[in-house]
Structure 1
């Protein structure tokens, strides 16, 4: 189980990220595009074009950790700002985002199928 410090900051990378990137590519994006330190201990979240894949880059004090989650239904809700940079989320907003809920208004991003 992963545990994060109480003061951890969560940064969403705005825009579209090439989801083929790994540790080095995402760390370079954090440095060049977000103008942040990938070794700061903060969480950096990236989403691809389709919106069903989320990658998280995190320095745990010993090394970089790369987490990935793909939704089978729905998509990760991302801010619709047409610029690069980042947005900071609260822990509650992060929990909703990872579950595929709209962190601005907690509703699922997909509609369950109703059996007839």
Structure 2
């Protein structure tokens, strides 16, 4: 798990991103496309066209990190391009990384009665 600082914001870049981009290309997309500072300590998450791969860009104050995660089955739930960049919480990021719908997480099983 990525150690998300308490004061960091997590941003989902709406739409599709070219997953061939590396740190510099994604940092430039944050700066020019999203109008945000890629070195501010926030996490920026990008999704590829297939929906099964995401990349996370994070500057921790010392250096830039690039994380990638691919789901073996299913797709990551993503906002529409019309939404632009969407801010989510660290808890929602945890759901997203597990392949769970971060917009409306639900328990998959709940006991009907005690005993």
- TM-score w.r.t. structure 2 length? 0.86
Q: CA deviation at 1:92?
A: 1.3
What are the ranges of 5 or more consecutive residues in structure 1 without an aligned counterpart? 108-116
- Does the CA contact (< 8 Å) of 2:10 and 2:45 recur in 1? yes
SS for the counterpart of 1:27 is: helix
Distance 2:48 2:63 in 1: 24
Structure 2 distance, partners of 1:2, 1:77, is 19
Offset at 1:66? 0.2
Query: What value does the CA root-mean-square deviation take over the aligned residues?
Result: 1.4
Shift of the 2–105 alpha-carbon distance from structure 1 to 2, 3 Å rule, reads: closer
**Which is further off, 3-12 or 18-27?**
3-12
The equivalent residue for 1:98 is: 97
Task: Provide the rounded CA distance (Å) in 2 between the counterparts of 1:3 and 1:78.
Answer: 22
Pair 1:32 & 2:64 matched: no
TM-score under structure 1 length normalisation? 0.85
Query: How many residues are paired up?
Result: 106
* 1:106 counterpart SS class: coil
CA radius of gyration, larger in = 2
Corresponding residue SS for 2:81: coil
Q: Matched residue of 2:46: which SS?
A: strand
Judge conservation of contact 1:33–1:84 (CA < 8 Å) in 2. no
Contact map agreement 2:14 2:85 (CA 8 A) in 1: yes
| Structure 1 residues 102 and 2: alpha-carbon distance in aligned structure 2, compared to 1, 3 A threshold | closer
Displacement of 1:82 in angstroms is: 3.3
Aligned to 1:112: none
4+ residue segments displaced more than 4 Å: none
